[in-house]
Amino acid sequence: MDHRFIHWLGHASFRLEDGEHVIYIDPWKLPPNSPPARLILITHPHYDHLSGPDVERVSTPETVIVATPDCADGLSRSFLRAIPGHELSAEPWKIRAVAAYTIASSFHPKPKNWVGYTIRLGTGLVVYHSGDTDLTPEVQGIRADVALLPCGGTYTMNGADAGAAANHIGPQLVIPMHWGDIVGSRKDAEEVRKHFRGETVIKTPER
């Protein structure tokens, strides 16, 4: 599968190219000259996922932002509210917010209603960015063509659990994230590859 339209910007930050449109997920520490966004998805208000200055850098009057309600204090623009289990329409995309929470630690409690997202691109491919989560029933119920999964442990699931999550989801490929900055190393990403029965692509951050 050609994955060149997916750019890992480090940690949980991604840029997706969907035809002429640019989508960012959890933009943080964006590289210089990052192209403007048509859509920005924010999973939760932790500083390494919601960066107001980075959002502003790539926003235009036409940019649509989707975020959890408690991101309001960190955003200077209006945005669509993401609620776990609910679908949103941000033309031309169909987006679904998926519950993201941790069981093994208290860093991301379920009552916060933080999320990951599935997004159907113009090509028909469904991309799932899990946000900060453990291997939960909600994660196991996802079906997607591409899965962007955390593997660094401590604040999220580790590499073995991310590989197990991928086996439930059944994507064409998995890209490990949430490693190499703050927590986790390439060894954790390699654990995903070890446990996932499909293709794992370990990217180098574009910074």
Confidence of residue 191 (pLDDT cuts 50, 70, 90): very high
Confidence of residue 207 (pLDDT cuts 50, 70, 90): confident
Structure tokens of 161? 């659990």
Rounded Cα–Cα distance for residues 155 and 32 (Å):
28
Judge if pTM exceeds 0.85: yes
Confidence of residue 104 (pLDDT cuts 50, 70, 90): confident
Residue 154 Cα to chain centre, angstroms: 18
Percent share of the chain, pLDDT over 70: 100
pLDDT per position as a tens digit, 6-51: 999 999 999 999 999 999 999 999 999 999 999 999 999 999 999 9
pLDDT per position as a tens digit, 59-96: 999 999 999 999 999 999 999 999 999 999 898 999 99
Residue ranges and CATH numbers for the domains of the chain are 6-200 (3.60.15.10)
pLDDT per position as a tens digit, 136-165: 999 999 999 999 999 999 999 999 999 999
